[in-house]
Amino acid sequence: MIILVSFVAFLIIELPPGDYLTVKLQQLQARGDLSAQQRIADYRARYKLDQPVLVRYWNWITHFVQGDFGESFEFERPVKEIIGQRALMSAVLALASIAIVWCLAIPIGVYSATHQYSLGDQIVTTLSFLGLGMPGFLLALLVLFFAMMVLKVEVGGLFSREFTDAPWSWGKVVDLLKHLWIPALISSVTGTASLVRIMRGNLLETLGQPFVEAARARGLKGSKVTWKHAVRVAINPLVVILTTEALPSIVAGDALVATVLNLPTVGPLFVRALVSQDMYLAGTVLVFIVLMTMVGSLIGDLALAALDPRIRLE
């Protein structure tokens, strides 16, 4: 599966006319580089772009399994080094935002379902539709503008200048937290909204089912009925979402928002590599996304089986 996906991905990146060097050539020309043509010929030889696509794919994938992911054209550095630098931050950020989103979304969803059409539900619904409708990058720009022009704080990136290159210390952690609130806020607004809607919908459906009524009829406490009986059933789709969508996002999260916020994560790298046809970099990230999706599905299935006896029996 991974091999198939990596091959198709390689081909698709190859499909548009030209290659990375066509893009590079235009960059060089744009600044008026008279030696552009020659420089491109040098690059072509260096990156062996004159060879047929199958040969290049084979070379790449055989090295890949040995842990050598090739060289990025744009950075002129090994892909491993570039992704390695950013992988940790990507994972931290993704996990943090997943944690925030889930801690917010489930209780809000439950509240909103159990208090259907109340004032609280209306407010939550309105907000979540706003969150759903507003693209993350737009929200990011608005928050940035607000933070810069009104709050007068430094934004962009995850660290202040003096901490970027510094070793880890208490000060650096505090600095990270100072910067982290913006990406966290944005991903919680956009991410929470959809989960709230799903949670609310599922729970409403479950709450109307006979076994819930039966539980109530047995005289169980309202909260116990909701949390122990209904939520446990209604949460199944969310588990699937968590494992199949959230896990891959650890690799290359919300690339657009990260680009706008200038975060040193893998997402923006991936987008840029796709645009500029930086084959090996894009291909490597893609393979990892697929890998995470597959692992995620597996974990999802196992988790569902653990949570829900009905699935286990089948």
Partner 1 sequence: MDLPPVEERLPLDVMVVPVVDSIGKYGGTWNDVTWYEDAGNIRMELYDPPVRWKADLTGYEPGLLIEMPTWSDDGKTITFKFRRGIKWSDGVPFTTADLKFWWEDLALNEDYKSVSVPWWGRNSDGTPITMEFPDDYTWVLHFDKAQYIMPYVLAQGFWEWEPLMKPAHFLKKYHPNYEGKKGEEGYTELDLMDRWFNTPGYPCLMAWCLKEYKAGEYRLLERNPYYWKVDAEGNQLPYIDYIRVELVEDSEVRLLQIAQGRYDCNFRYNGSPMDIPFLQENAEAGDFRLVPGWMNGAGAWPGIIVNQDYHTAMEYDPAKESEEDKEIRQLLRNHDFLVGLSYAMDRQRVLDVVWGGIGEAKNFTISPQSPHFVSEEGQKVFKEWAEAYAEYSPDKAKEAFDKAGFKDADGDGIRDLPSGKPFTLILQLNDWSDPKINTNFVEVYKKNLEDVGVKVLIDNAIGTPDGGINRDNGLFMLATTHASELDLWTYPDWIFPVRGVGEGTRAFPMEGQYYKTGGEQGWAPEPGSPAALLQELYRKGLQEPSEEKRNEIVWEAVRIYIDKGPFIIGATGDQPQPVVCKNYFKNVLEYGVLGPWAPGTPGNTHPEQYWMDK
Task: List binders of partner 1 among 163-192 (CB under 8 A).
Answer: 164-165
Rounded Cα distance between 269 and 285, Å, is 9
Among 6-14, 81-89, 99-107, 175-183, the segment contacting partner 1 (CB under 8 A): 81-89
Q: By CB under 8 A, which span of 110-118, 193-201, 265-273, 296-304 interacts with partner 1?
A: 265-273
Q: Which is nearer to partner 1, 201 or 264 (CB)?
A: 264
Per-residue contact string for residues 61-80; x = within reach of partner 1 by CB under 8 A = -----------x-xxxx---
Q: If binding is defined by CB under 8 A, does position 17 make contact with partner 1?
A: yes
Q: Given the complex with partner 1, which of 38 and 116 has the nearer CB atom?
A: 38
Helices first, then strands: H and E counts in the chain: 18, 2
Regarding 22 and contact with partner 1 (CB under 8 A), the answer is yes
Task: Figure out which of the listed residues 10, 57, 60, 82 binds partner 1, where binding follows CB under 8 A.
Answer: 82
Q: Of 103-111, 138-146, 213-221, 296-304, which segment contacts partner 1 by CB under 8 A?
A: 138-146
Calpha distance 76→47 (Å, rounded): 10
Nearest to 41 by CA among 22, 13, 15: 22
Residue 213: how many CB atoms within 10 A of its CB?
A: 12
Closest contact distance (angstroms) between CB of 149 and partner 1 is 8
E runs forming strands in the chain: 71-72, 77-78
Q: Residue 284, class by beta-carbon neighbours within 10 Å (0-12 exposed, 13-18 middle, 19+ buried)?
A: buried
Compute the least distance from the CB of residue 246 to partner 1, in Å. Answer: 25
Shortest distance, position 132 Cβ to partner 1, whole Å: 23
Long-range contacts of 77-83 (CB under 8 A, 24+ apart): 79/280, 79/281, 79/284, 82/269, 82/281, 83/266, 83/269, 83/281, 83/284, 83/285
Question: Does the protein bind partner 1 through residue 15 (CB under 8 A)?
Answer: no
285 binds partner 1 per the rule CB under 8 A: no
Q: Is 156 in the site for partner 1 (CB under 8 A)?
A: yes
Closer CB to partner 1, 62 or 262, in the complex = 262
DSSP, residue by residue, 223-242:
HHIIIIIIIHHHTHHHHHHI
Beta bridge partners of 72: 77
Q: Which of 5, 36, 49, 295 binds partner 1 (CB under 8 A)?
A: 36
Closest CA to 101 of 195, 211, 21: 195
Residues that bind partner 1 (CB under 8 A): 16-18, 22-23, 25-42, 45-46, 72, 74-77, 81-82, 85-86, 141, 144-145, 148, 152, 154-157, 161, 164-165, 259-262, 264, 268-269, 272
